[in-house]
Each structure stands twice: as structure tokens, then as C-alpha cells.
Amino acid sequence: MKIRIISRLSILMETVEMLYKYVNNLSLDNIKRDFLLKYGEQLSAEDRAYYDTLFQSLDSIIKEGTQDLDRNDSRLQYYFKDLQPEGCREWVCMAKVILYSFYDGKAFSFDESIQECRQQYQDFAADDFSHYKLIEIDRAGLNYVPVAGDEPVSLFRQLESFDIPGNCKWEIYKAMVEYEELLRELEVLIRPIANRMETILGRYDALLQQTVHYWQGYFAGHSFQDFKTSMMGVETDEPEGAGGERVVWFWWMGCSQIHFYQNEDQESLNIGILVRAGITPKLAGYVQENVINILKFLSDKSKFEIIHRLSDHQYYGLELANEMQLTSGTISKHLNTLYSYGLLNLQRVNNRGYYQTDEAAIRRFLVQLEQGLLGHQPSSMD
């Protein structure tokens, strides 16, 4: 099936991600440092210069886009401060819950995106949200699927089952109940910033087009499923022609991230500006800023067992799921989270994505843990 590649940017997502980074004081320095440590030696001089330009551009976009903003502003703090779901590094904030939960990337202008959120919410909100089952809360907001024939369960009861702080559950439920009011307030808050971002990003269109041309070349020789397997570790027995239209689009602010969206008639990939085949930068600050979240994640027996099994053997997702008697969806989520923490490597072998523990990353994590617990410069881990 033909893959449609879109060169337009989602101004809504660019604005939300920029404000999230700004309010939570997330620096690009960690991404750049870890990127160069991992990939620097394999880059040609031309590639190195290109990535230097990308990092410089990202830094300039954020500085100009957030000029004159106060990260301690109460409204920015409410909507963009990290909610920190328990035991999971997912980069969640109220703005993402309100917007991303009802946005699937079909609209690109700010106004069209807000309207898409409003329309999709209307269907979700019917009958106290109980005709949908909430399956996950992550950086893409609320993930839910329609239910039919089952006894309806209210959204509040569904949220109760999630391992997130009680105040976060209440704030999320309140946001869904008061959605129209909060959406209007959020729209007014970020509209001037979104308008500014559209102008700023227009000046970097030539760099974006280089990314577009690169992926046009890639998908001329690879299928959508090739990408999901090799770059995301996602495996499926579904035939390549199933699932409707395939769409690929890009973003600056989610520079190292890949988001995957799917509905009845479309599958979409949102690819960060830094990502290339064989180069998937890990999320910023996975050592310095997420020691506690990693410890929470690994405190669960099955999650700890996953990384233990991967310490001396490569696994692809379905193989590990069968061996541990877990669903492929559960394994995929845990592997993606461990990979986003920077603790795993992903290698493509015979069209399958194989994971294995990144020993160097584990050692860096242990160094940071020692420093945090003992309060002094850590000893050598050699």
C-alpha cells in the first residue's frame, strides 16, 4: 500500500512539546551529548555538520518561541508541568491529556487541530465515558478503545485502577468533566505562542525538507511494517495491506521521538527530526533526571525480569512475550519504556527488532544512583 508523506507540521504539537520542555526545564544538551557519544564515530563529517545544524536550530527555535514567557506562570505550570505517572517516564502533562487524547494528526493548523479535539471529545464523553475502556495514560494522553457488550464502567472507576498519584487521577477526571471550559482556556493561553511558532518554523523549512526527502527515499525501498519493526520493535502478524491508509509526518520539538497513531482507516507515524534509519536518539536526561522513575519501574518483578533476561540474550518482542507468558502488547509497552530510558539497545535482524541490555547505559545509571545516594562524586565503575 502506498505511503503518503506529509511535509506540513502540526503547529499544535510543536507548541505543546516546546512548552512542556520549557516549563519542565528540559535541556537539549543531554540529548546532544548522548547522541554524539553513541553515534558520533559512525557519522561522516557531512552528517556531523548536519546534526550540529539541527541541534543549533532546535535550540534557537525553543529560545525564540519561549521568549518573554515565565515558566513559573501559574497557568503554564498547571497545563504543562510533568504529572510524573508512578513508575513510568512518559512525559505527561494536563495539556497533553486534554489535547492529545482527542487528536490523531489529521489536522495541521492550530485552529483545525483544536476543532478536531473538540469534535472527538464529544463522542468520547457520551454516557460518562463508559462506552470506552481506558487502557493507558502516556505521552499521547489517554489511550482508549471502544467496548461493546461489556458492563459499562465509569471513567472515574477506570482511573482508580491506574498506578498514578491520587491527585493526578482527580485532575484528569476533572479535566474530562470540565473539558470544554479547560479547552477554551488552554486555547486562549497558547494561541499567541502557536502563531509565533508557525512563523518561526517557516524559516527552517529547508531543513525540514531534507528530512522529508530522506524518508521519501527510505519508504521507496521499505514498507511501513519494516519501519515499525526495525525502529520501534513493534511486531504484528497483520498483512501489510491491512489497516487503511499509511501516513508519515514529522516534528521538530519531538526531536528524538516516534509517535504511532492508529484508527479504523489510517495508520500514522510522527517521526522526530533527529531520527534516521539506524539512529534513534534516546530521550533526554535518562540518567540524570529519571533515576527515581527507573527504580520505580524496575521494582515490579516482571519488569525487572525482562531486563534481567535481556542482559545475556537478545529477544524480539513476541519471543519474550511467549517465554514470559505475557501479552505482546504488555511486552511491547515495557520494552519501549526501557528503551526510552536508554537502558536497551535495539538491533534489526532478519526483519525483526531485537532488544538487549545496554551495559554501558546500566553502568552510567548505577554511577548516578551512587552519586544520588552517597552525595559525592561517584567512584569508577570500571
Angstrom distance (rounded) from CA 314 to CA 215: 28
Burial bucket for residue 287 (CB in 10 Å: 0-12, 13-18, 19+): buried
C-alpha 120/C-alpha 110 separation (Å) is 16
Q: What is the pLDDT of residue 143?
A: 79
- pLDDT at residue 362, as a whole number: 80
Q: Residue 99 in contact with residue 16, Cβ under 8 Å?
A: yes
**For the segment 39-73, what is each residue's pLDDT rounded down to a tens digit?**
888 888 999 999 999 999 999 999 999 999 999 99
- 350 CB-near residues (< 8 Å, 6+ apart): none
CA 131 to chain centre: 26
Residue 288 pLDDT? 45
Does the structure show a pLDDT above 70 at 313? yes
For 238, other C-beta atoms within 10 Å of its C-beta total 9
φ, ψ of residue 178 to 5 degrees: the values are: -105, 35
Task: Yes or no: say if 162 and 179 are a contact pair by the CB < 8 Å rule.
Answer: no
Lowest mean pLDDT among 78-92, 172-186, 210-224, 361-375: 78-92
Alpha-carbon distance 297 to 162, whole Å? Answer: 14
Environment class of 25 (CB within 10 Å of its CB; exposed 0-12, middle 13-18, buried 19+): exposed
CA 154, chain centre distance (Å): 27
Rounded (to 5) percent helix, strand, coil in the chain: 55, 15, 30
Of 211, 248, 236, the C-alpha closest to 2 is 248
Q: 331-362: per-residue pLDDT in tens?
A: 877 887 787 677 887 776 555 678 888 887 78
Q: What is the DSSP letter of 132?
A: E
pTM over 0.95: no
Q: Rounded to whole angstroms, how far apart are CA atoms 115 and 97?
A: 16
Q: How many residues does the chain have?
A: 382
The string of pLDDT tens digits covering residues 141-161 is 887 777 766 677 778 888 877
What is the reported pLDDT for 104?
81
**pLDDT attached to residue 285:** 37
Q: How confident is the model at residue 236 (pLDDT cuts 50, 70, 90)?
A: low
Mean pLDDT across 103-114: 90
3-state secondary structure at position 169? helix
Q: The C-alpha cell of 26 is what?
A: 528540559
Give pLDDT, residue 46. Answer: 92
Most confident of 82-86, 319-323, 327-331: 319-323
pLDDT tens digits along 165-216: 677 888 888 999 999 999 999 999 999 999 999 999 999 999 999 999 999 9
